[in-house]
Structure 1
Amino acid sequence: MRYVSRGSEKAPKSLTAISKGKTELERAREHYAALGDKESFTFKAYSKDDVKWRLNTLFHYKCAYCETYFPASSPVDVEHYRPKSSVSEDPTHPGYWWLAMSWQNLLPSCIDCNRNRRQHIVAANSSLSELLNQSRVPLTSGGKKDCFPLAVGGGANAA
């Protein structure tokens, strides 16, 4: 993954827009205060066109993980570096929902890097017969989805 500075520009307006008298973050806080982690909140602000356009421009239309040009591969996903609704490594973790609209937490990603799916991963030196016989190659999970490794006993004092 490559780091790209956001500079001193403000976040896109959609991330702090007021709807129904509140920002999306304020509505999410109320939702989680009332329902806890039982029902996830439907976030929409991060997928608005102004957010996608700014991310695409900032990252030069490349995936933040593999640096593939989007026009060459697939449409862009807006990826949350810290996942918003769960963390696969810890089923009890509620995710970082309060960062779902954070400009610093958003990245452009191709669907292969963002979405978890089972696929055949073959070595670059595979023979033609191995490539044609992929049923013998085990399926491997690929893509980030809600992965975010956590330190055991995390927190400020974790080693």
Structure 2
Amino acid sequence: MIFIDIQEVVATLSEDWRNEARAITKKLNEAENAVERKTIIAEHEGLWRQLKVKLAAAAYEKCWYCETFSYRSDNAVDHFRPKSRVYEEKTHPGYWWLAFSPDNYRFACTYCNSRRHDVGGTSGGKHDHFPLADGSPRAADPYTPLSVENALLLDPCWKSDTAAFWFDETGTVDVNPTFKKVDDHAEEKVRASRHFYHLDQVSLVEARRRVYAKVLRLCDQADHSFLSWQKTKDHSAKVAFREAMNSIARMRDRTAEHSAVAHCAIRGYRHSSISASLSYDSIV
């Protein structure tokens, strides 16, 4: 998961789109009951779908939750806070007042967005789930600030949340030890996000493992070329070192699939590898 600045997307919206969203939200506020609200939402769902291209571009066509490209699914616009109902609280009406709020939109693959059982024995998918920490109040209307909620699902639109995940050479998801120091619910949040975003799906774990291994392999190649250059002063060895460093940078770049995994690999290897150390210290 990498940080996505949702405000950059919001800033590109046309005044016509904003006006239509405001008009529909006004209708929702004036609706007499939940059935009427659901009808209004269903009749205008094409409005948020208009933003799919913009949302996809904000993350370089990657799912905002798992950092995969489109091969896992037909990606969709996800409502971070569910618009019609909340699985964890059966009497909750859903965050209907956010149905046409672009701040609540995320770009998600099918595995992260929909409930699925994988052939590898795993299950997950966000769907209508939005769990909160024990004791946390839940906003039930547009007059309660969302800040009262202590959400368990990590949000790519919060920089601090994207630092919560940690990946190792096996490709599995764990909690970043540093995140434990800033959030009392760190382990619970990583565990919930891993499940509801289906981040332990077998093929996804394998893809992350390959990225991690490739980064270490490139670091070893760069180190070997660097040492050869130091010893022989052979210019070709220097060029090989520079090319390997460029390859590492490409894997760490935000446009690359699973760039957060590449970053973890570099960080974990930086004390053993000069190329990993140089890459980690450089500005992405």
> When the two structures are superposed, what TM-score results if normalisation uses the length of structure 1?
0.70
Query: Which is helix-richer, 1 or 2?
Result: 2
Q: Determine whether 1:145 maps to 2:94.
A: no
Supply the RMSD in Å over aligned alpha carbons. Answer: 2.7
Note if contact 1:15-1:101 (Cα within 8 Å) is conserved in structure 2.
no
Output the CA distance in 1 between the equivalents of 2:127 and 2:60: 22
Query: Which is strand-richer, 1 or 2?
Result: 1
Deviations 1:94-128 (A, max 9, x none): 11111112222111101111011233444xxxxxx
Deviations 1:64-102 (A, max 9, x none): 1111112x2322210011111111111011111111122
Paired residues for 1:122-141 under 5 Å:
122=121, 141=123
- 1:63 is aligned to 63
Cα separation, partners in 2 of 1:89 and 1:157, compared to 1, 3 Å? closer
Q: Determine whether 1:115 maps to 2:114.
A: yes
Output the CA distance in 2 between the equivalents of 1:112 and 1:59: 17
- 2:87 is aligned to 88
Note if contact 2:132-2:149 (Cα within 8 Å) is conserved in structure 1.
no
Q: 1:18 is matched by which residue type in structure 2?
A: E
Cα separation, partners in 2 of 1:78 and 1:157, compared to 1, 3 Å? closer
- 1:29 is aligned to 29
Deviations 1:18-56 (A, max 9, x none): 39xx7221122222xx12x245231422112xx111101
Q: Give the structure, 1 or 2, with the largest relative contact order (CA under 8 Å, sep 6 or more).
A: 1
- 2:282 is aligned to none
**Paired residue secondary structure (1:83):** coil
Output the CA distance in 1 between the equivalents of 2:134 and 2:12: 33
Note if contact 1:11-1:103 (Cα within 8 Å) is conserved in structure 2.
no
Residue in structure 1 matching 2:49, options 47, 50, 54: 47
Output the CA distance in 2 between the equivalents of 1:157 and 1:58: 26
Output the CA distance in 1 between the equivalents of 2:74 and 2:117: 20
- In structure 2, runs of 5+ residues without a counterpart are 138-147, 151-183, 185-284
Cα separation, partners in 2 of 1:25 and 1:157, compared to 1, 3 Å? closer
Output the CA distance in 2 between the equivalents of 1:157 and 1:77: 25
Output the CA distance in 2 between the equivalents of 1:11 and 1:60: 16
Cα separation, partners in 2 of 1:149 and 1:119, compared to 1, 3 Å? same
Output the CA distance in 2 between the equivalents of 1:143 and 1:94: 21
Shift of the alpha carbon at 1:151? 3.8
- In structure 1, runs of 5+ residues without a counterpart are 123-139
**Paired residue secondary structure (1:18):** helix
Q: Which moved more, 1:10-19 or 1:146-155?
A: 10-19
**Paired residue secondary structure (1:62):** coil
Note if contact 2:82-2:130 (Cα within 8 Å) is conserved in structure 1.
yes
Shift of the alpha carbon at 1:157? 9.4
Q: Which moved more, 1:5-14 or 1:143-152?
A: 5-14
Shift of the alpha carbon at 1:12? 2.4
> When the two structures are superposed, what TM-score results if normalisation uses the length of structure 2?
0.42
Bigger radius of gyration: 2
Percent identical among aligned pairs is: 34
